[in-house]
Amino acid sequence: MEQRQLEFFVAVAEELNFTRAARRTHAVQSTVSASIRVLERELGAPLFDRTTTRVRLTEAGRALLPEARRSLDSLGQARAAVEGTRARITGSLRIGTLAGLTTVDLPSLVREFRRRHPGVHLSLRIDAAGSDGLMAALRSRALDVAFVGIESTDVPGLRLTPITTFQPRLLVPSGHALAGRRSVRRAQLAGESCVDLPTGFCNRARTDADFRGAGISRTVTVEVSDVTTIPSYVESGIGVALVPPLATEAGARVVPVDLDPPAQMWTLAVARLASPEPARATTALLEMVDEHVHWHGFY
């Protein structure tokens, strides 16, 4: 089993498309296909189900994927150990983030990282499953570092460095009966339709737990994957929301109202695997994060 075979396999497994995998690995599609067939013969099992319209991992392929990533990571660390004798950092760095995040100026961070380390290939991704999906991607080695929302920094297998905390509060349309209140008890929200993030996002997890703890059920009418779009949905009258301060509130006819007692806070953190030690590119990025944190009072 050769490194290039594993690189082709991982690319196809992540792209689920031979053409995109070939483009990503700077190879021709016939080379990628032939390499995968050779690997399947060596392992004695098909790794992909192929049709004219789609590519899917088989059970054997799903079993191989985390091991292939681990092997490639080990090879990358071996190279990094040798490259450590030289000043230049090379390799790849896969970053996960949350939609709409402004507390960390990612464009500025990436630009400065690229200026300092032009030999590193960067890729950024947002996971549809929110922070839970990002942390799962770290554990499967599909990501090297991720910005996540968490309830606790004690997460098995991960090392998390807190950046800041957010205090969610109620957001209602400007004409809502509760808009003129200084604070609202949870019992007053019984029966209200709600707008929230999907399961897997920290804001959703904290809000669900908050209402369960108060013995109140709520109905989430609309789920959105970008928290910054919630004010426009609240403004439309679809429902109320429990969210941290958002810059997009300024352009919407919505009113924030404190909860009594206050909602549970959640933490924005940068995460990586607890072990092994991170590659030099990961360490270099982590060392730069603080320079690009802009706490302006909203998410």
**pLDDT tens profile 110-149:** 999 999 999 999 999 999 889 999 999 999 999 999 999 9
Q: What is the pLDDT of residue 74?
A: 81
Q: Is 158 among the domain residues? A: yes
Residues 2-15: what's their mean pLDDT?
Answer: 91
What CATH number should be reported for the domain holding residue 109?
Answer: 3.40.190.10
The answer on pLDDT for 186 being more than 80 is yes
8 and 147, same domain (yes or no)? no
The residues with which 96 forms a beta bridge, in sequence order, are 125, 146
The answer on pLDDT for 295 being more than 90 is no
Q: Is 142 among the domain residues? A: yes
Q: What is the pLDDT of residue 294?
A: 86
The answer on pLDDT for 52 being more than 90 is no
Q: What is the pLDDT of residue 83?
A: 58
Distance of CA 238 to the CA centre of its chain: 27
252 and 175, same domain (yes or no)? yes
The answer on pLDDT for 296 being more than 90 is no
For strands 145-150 and 91-97, give the pairing.
parallel
Secondary structure of the chain in HEC code, one letter for each residue: CCHHHHHHHHHHHHHCCHHHHHHHCCCCHHHHHHHHHHHHHHHCCCCEEECCCCEEECHHHHHHHHHHHHHHHHHHHHHHHHHCCCCCCCEEEEEEECCCCCCECHHHHHHHHHHHCCCEEEEEEECCCHHHHHHHHHHCCCCCEEEEEECCCCCCCEEEEEEEEECCEEEEECCCCCCCCCEEEHHHHCCCEEEECCCCCHHHHHHHHHHHHCCCCCEEEEECCCHHHHHHHHHCCCCEEEECCCHHHHHCCEEEEEEECCCCCEEEEEEEECCCCCCHHHHHHHHHHHHHECCCCCC
112 and 61, same domain (yes or no)? no
98 and 64, same domain (yes or no)? no
| Domain count for the chain | 3
Whose tokens are 């092994």? That residue is 276
Q: Is 81 among the domain residues? A: no
Q: What is the pLDDT of residue 258?
A: 94
188 and 127, same domain (yes or no)? no
Q: Which pLDDT band, with edges at 50, 70 and 90, does 77 fall under?
A: confident
Q: What is the pLDDT of residue 128?
A: 86
Q: What is the pLDDT of residue 80?
A: 67
Q: What is the pLDDT of residue 82?
A: 65
CA neighbor of 242 nearest in space, from 268, 298, 204: 204
Percent of the chain with pLDDT over 90: 70
160 and 290, same domain (yes or no)? yes
User: pLDDT tens digits, residue range 18-41?
Assistant: 999 999 888 899 999 999 999 999
Per-chain mean pLDDT for the chain: 91
Among candidate residues 48, 76, 104, the one where a domain is terminated = 76
The answer on pLDDT for 71 being more than 60 is yes
What CATH number should be reported for the domain holding residue 29?
Answer: 1.10.10.10
Q: What is the pLDDT of residue 53?
A: 85
Q: Which pLDDT band, with edges at 50, 70 and 90, does 281 fall under?
A: very high
Q: Supply angle C-alpha 61, 63, 66, rounded to 5.
A: 100
Q: What pTM was estimated for this model as a whole?
A: 0.71
Alpha carbons 51 and 211: distance in angstroms, whole number: 46
Residues 6+ apart with CB under 8 A from 277: none
Q: Is 82 among the domain residues? A: no
Residue 186: give the domain boundaries: 168-264
Q: Which pLDDT band, with edges at 50, 70 and 90, does 163 fall under?
A: very high
User: pLDDT tens digits, residue range 231-251?
Assistant: 999 999 999 999 999 999 998
Whether 126 contacts 99, CB under 8 Å:
yes
Q: What is the pLDDT of residue 81?
A: 64
146 and 273, same domain (yes or no)? yes
